[in-house]
Structure 1
Amino acid sequence: MKFRDDLRIKTATSWFPPDHETAEDAVAAGKLDQIDADKIGVTRLPVATRLSAPELAVEAAHEAMARAGWSPDRVGLVLHTWIYHQGHDMWSPPHFVANEIGSPEALSYGVYQGCNGAALALQLAATQLAADPGLGAALITTGDRFEPPGFRRWACDYGLGYGDAGTAVLLHHADAGADAEPDDYALVSLATATAAELELMLRHGDDFSAAPLTHNPYIDLRRPKKSYMAEFGKEQFSEIAGRLIRRVIVDSVHDAGLELDDPRIKYIALPRLGVSVLDAIYTPILDEVLKVEALRFGGATGHLGCGDFLANLADLRDHASLDPGDFALVIGGGAAWTWACAVVQVPEAGV
């Protein structure tokens, strides 16, 4: 999907709680063994001991608004996305976020698409702003807190450690001369690809239940994945994942009007998955189709659920060497299963 030339990401922010748990401490406490720690490959995970998941999103949103120098009444659309418990049952965290940032009349709703939720929310916001210019600007937030007893951040999945964070992006159509602060990026294109048949991977071997945590006292993604792999093998998932990761990279670059070997493409930011997962699934595809530096920003954060995508936009700005006119890619995926890849460009002066 190619977006309008004036679609801009005003800013992207991440907000991490000050507390953390190290991999070394987790091994010492028996939460995982050293082999699994090496497969995850992170030094520590941020841990929220005070704030709820949507409050983490609000912190990131406040930071984004301050960085942009925007008044809350400029935001007409709020999209919030998450993968785990938001602190209350049968409740709407998007409306909480909108109210807390001072935009209580903004159209607010949730986007639930697993760990790819932020990418899909970004796409939805872009299309909705194009269809209804009266909305003004959009705020996209993520927020998750992976706390026990329902979640075991080091051991609920293969090759992943889950960190707590809030992230936010402000999206708008540029109006020349209207903003004192420059935009972080132009959002040029975003491609998605889905393999809905893989939804079975996260429920294989389990009947449909009447209430949460019926099959296990905590979220355990390993059990159904192990059951699925025993029946279908790892090769089926690897083939589908590799094919669709390749597709979203190629499609996003071509939609942006670029070639894969364009020297202005400087980086691709990878999802904050474990080193074993990235090396097995993503690296072979990148070596084949895209000869740019692949950035891994998750060493001290772990996987942020759907927060990876927006956090990577913030880290690209703050920790990568990008000049005006340069392009970068951000890629992500979510069970079960959709992948997405966005092309962003650092705006040139006066553009």
Structure 2
Amino acid sequence: MRLEHLYLAGVAAVLPEVVETERAVKEGLLDPAVREASGIVSVAVAGEVPAPDLAAEAAAAAVRRSGRRPEEFAALLHSGAHFQGPDGWSPQHYVLRKALDVPIPALEVRQGCLGMLASLELAAYRLAADPARPAVLLTAADNFGTPMVDRWRASGLFLLADGAAAAVVTRDGGFARVLAVGSLSNPEMEEFNRGGEVLFPPPVTVGRPLNLEARRQYWRDQWAQGVLPPMGNLGELVADVAARTLAEAGVAMEQVRRVVHIGFSKGPLTDTFLDPLGIDADRGVWEFTRRTGHAGAVDPFSGLQYLLETGQVEAGDHVMLIGAAPGAEVTCAVLEITGDQGTS
């Protein structure tokens, strides 16, 4: 979807202290061969800090940097891939109270690791449909340090990290213009992410922890028995949605200075994002994500904040934000940096 008047006016990320993967190996948490293959040197770990508190901290910083007043916001869209607090509770309104404290709609976008990028697309629709207020606040946060997740072994694609990010999206100016944003899914791959899990009762309600790697192994075992796994390739979705979004933005891939991707381990990152996009790791943000791990929906905007604060992009540069989630679905946004954001 090509956009004419959509901007980022402020972004912020909150990433806690990291735990080195070498230490995780010494403590028996991580297999040394997995560490070596992953290329990940450290993972952000928040301890007992609740995810919504991380989100509120990031939100406050993004709002300050944007220079926007609370009464200018039309909505808050909050995302998380893991549990945020008590069952039946509303973390998005907690973040809203802490960050803005205004009586606007606050929605939770349950789109897994795509939550914040999907929220950017939803914000574009909201701001186009309702001219009353010019801004929407996006937040995302996770703390995976619960008994229901083993961050070191839950998936062979990544090591799970904690953190938060926030972005102020406006239709009347900012430090980056959003030229286009769009999503593409392959619902036939839904079964691949489900594996052999039952739908009811939901496994977590009977004390079964998250184990994405076991679901992948289920399909390896099925294939060995002659049962074909669901067909689909996430890398093909990445290439397709990137090509479409670039065309809508009127930007060639050669003009994109940096690509902000999610924090996959080295092999899956190369296969799913770098090779399909035709770029090397230096043009992505591997030097950042290999030191943080995969922080769910936080990655695209924490990666953008990293590029901004280290001065690796400047006015006139084009930046691609791209991520993926179970479904399978990919969302891509193409930005043009137009100036500096605030630093408060």
Trace 1:173-252 onto structure 2 (pairs within 5 A). 173-174=171-172, 183-213=174-204, 217-232=208-223, 240-252=233-245
Trace 1:194-343 onto structure 2 (pairs within 5 A). 194-213=185-204, 217-232=208-223, 240-261=233-254, 264-287=255-278, 293-296=283-286, 297-319=288-310, 321-343=312-334
Q: CA deviation at 1:238?
A: 8.6
Aligned equivalent of 1:90, options 54, 67, 88: 88
Q: Does 1:346 align with 2:344?
A: no
SS of the residue corresponding to residue 149 of structure 2 reads coil
Which consecutive segments of 4 or more residues in structure 1 shift more than 6 A?
235-238
**Residue identity matched to 1:133:** P
**Residue identity matched to 2:140:** T
Q: CA deviation at 1:237?
A: 7.2
Aligned equivalents of 1:260, 1:303: Cα separation in 2: 25
Aligned equivalents of 1:184, 1:30: Cα separation in 2: 45
Task: Answer yes or no: is the 8 Å Cα contact 1:9–1:172 preserved in 2.
Answer: yes
Q: CA deviation at 1:133?
A: 1.3
Q: CA deviation at 1:286?
A: 2.2
SS of the residue corresponding to residue 133 of structure 1 reads coil
Q: CA deviation at 1:216?
A: 5.8
Q: CA deviation at 1:2?
A: 0.6
Gaps spanning 5+ residues in structure 1: where?
176-182
Residue deviations 1:2-23 (CA, integer Å, cap 9, x gap): 112x311001110122x33221
Q: CA deviation at 1:150?
A: 1.0
**Residue identity matched to 1:227:** Y
Aligned equivalents of 1:31, 1:116: Cα separation in 2: 27
User: Which residue of structure 1 lines up, in the alignment, with residue 144 of structure 2?
Assistant: 146
RMSD: 2.4
Aligned equivalents of 2:190, 2:103: Cα separation in 1: 36
Q: CA deviation at 1:48?
A: 1.4
SS of the residue corresponding to residue 118 of structure 1 reads helix
Aligned equivalents of 1:138, 1:126: Cα separation in 2: 9
Q: CA deviation at 1:73?
A: 2.1
Q: CA deviation at 1:283?
A: 2.5
Aligned equivalents of 1:114, 1:74: Cα separation in 2: 28
User: Which residue of structure 1 lines up, in the alignment, with residue 13 of structure 2?
Assistant: 14
SS of the residue corresponding to residue 106 of structure 1 reads coil
When residues 200 and 215 of structure 1 are mapped into structure 2, their CA distance, relative to the original with a 3 A threshold, is farther
Residue deviations 1:164-197 (CA, integer Å, cap 9, x gap): 101000000116xxxxxxx221011012110111
User: Which residue of structure 2 lines up, in the alignment, with residue 78 of structure 1?
Assistant: 76
Aligned equivalents of 2:312, 2:28: Cα separation in 1: 40
Aligned equivalent of 2:60, options 51, 59, 62: 62
Q: CA deviation at 1:52?
A: 0.5
Residue deviations 1:247-269 (CA, integer Å, cap 9, x gap): 111111100012333xx421212
Residue deviations 1:209-242 (CA, integer Å, cap 9, x gap): 3244257642111111111233358x97795212
Q: CA deviation at 1:341?
A: 1.3
TM norm structure 1? 0.89
Residue deviations 1:117-143 (CA, integer Å, cap 9, x gap): 111111001111111011321000001
Q: CA deviation at 1:102?
A: 2.7
Aligned equivalents of 2:237, 2:169: Cα separation in 1: 27
The percentage of counterpart residues that share the same residue type is 26
Task: Answer yes or no: is the 8 Å Cα contact 1:153–1:161 preserved in 2.
Answer: yes
**Residue identity matched to 1:63:** A
Task: Answer yes or no: is the 8 Å Cα contact 2:184–2:330 preserved in 1.
Answer: yes
Task: Answer yes or no: is the 8 Å Cα contact 2:188–2:230 preserved in 1.
Answer: no
Paired positions, count: 337
User: Which residue of structure 1 lines up, in the alignment, with residue 2 of structure 2?
Assistant: 2
Task: Answer yes or no: is the 8 Å Cα contact 2:82–2:142 preserved in 1.
Answer: yes
Task: Answer yes or no: is the 8 Å Cα contact 1:39–1:159 preserved in 2.
Answer: no
Q: CA deviation at 1:275?
A: 0.7
